[in-house]
Amino acid sequence: MVWMRCRWLSIVERYFGARAAARAIVATGFDDGCIRPDSLRLITLRSNDQFNTTVYGYDDRFRGIRGTRDICLMNPADMDVFGLADADTVSRVSGAQDGVERIVRGLRVVPYAIPRGCVAGYYPELNALVPLWHHAEGSKVPASKSVPVLVVKASQETSGQTSGA
């Protein structure tokens, strides 16, 4: 039998040393000038039956979603502001005003306890909304968090409106 001596890990104490402080994470963001005022911030999620981009099923027991990944999780207060109800069909349009149209259609609205001003959905289905220039500075990995998006009701999209729902 082998015994190991227990010791406190630096992560438990939230101390990562002086060298770690020099490697602080730097996120690239969107300039205020390229974000529409009616934008929400995108949160991309993985389901419990997903490993990286490999999806093994269409049920997410963590969030109570069954049979689909084409969803739009929203705070109920934001749903009221945008005139949306549970199970409405919406599209998400990139809110980055850089001249490139990025849109994902046919998403079902689901009320969920997320922060106001945010909207969530599954990765990789929403990759189309992430501008190629929005990436980590060093690694160039796409930064799929906090991307500005608009939520457009399906009936408004067909009538040509492009503002938020």
Question: Longest Cα pair distance anywhere in the chain, in angstroms?
Answer: 73
| Helix residue ranges, H only, the chain | 10-13, 17-22, 76-81, 154-158
Q: 92-136, pLDDT tens digit by residue?
A: 998 777 888 999 999 999 999 999 999 999 888 888 898 888 777
User: How far apart are the C-alpha atoms of 109 and 75, rounded to whole Å?
Assistant: 10
Report angle CA 41, 42, 43 to the nearest 5 degrees.
120
> How high is the pLDDT of residue 71?
93
Amino acid at 141: V
> How high is the pLDDT of residue 83?
95
Asked if residue 46 lies in contact with residue 122, where contact means CB atoms within 8 angstroms, the answer is: yes
Q: Could you list the beta-strand ranges (E) of 37-116.
A: 40-45, 50-51, 54-55, 71-74, 89-94, 103-111
User: How far apart are the C-alpha atoms of 73 and 60, rounded to whole Å?
Assistant: 13
The domain segmentation of the chain, as residue ranges, is 31-158
Quick one: which of 29, 33, 27, 52 has its CA closest to 41?
Answer: 29
- Indicate left, alpha or beta for 62 from its phi (over 0: left) and psi (-120 to 50: alpha): alpha
CATH number for the domain whose boundaries are 31-158:
2.40.40.20
Quick one: which of 43, 101, 49 has its CA closest to 72?
Answer: 43
Q: 25-84, pLDDT tens digit by residue?
A: 554 556 555 567 788 988 888 887 777 777 788 888 888 888 888 999 999 999 999 999
> How high is the pLDDT of residue 107?
95
Preceding omega of 124 cis (within 30 degrees of 0)? yes
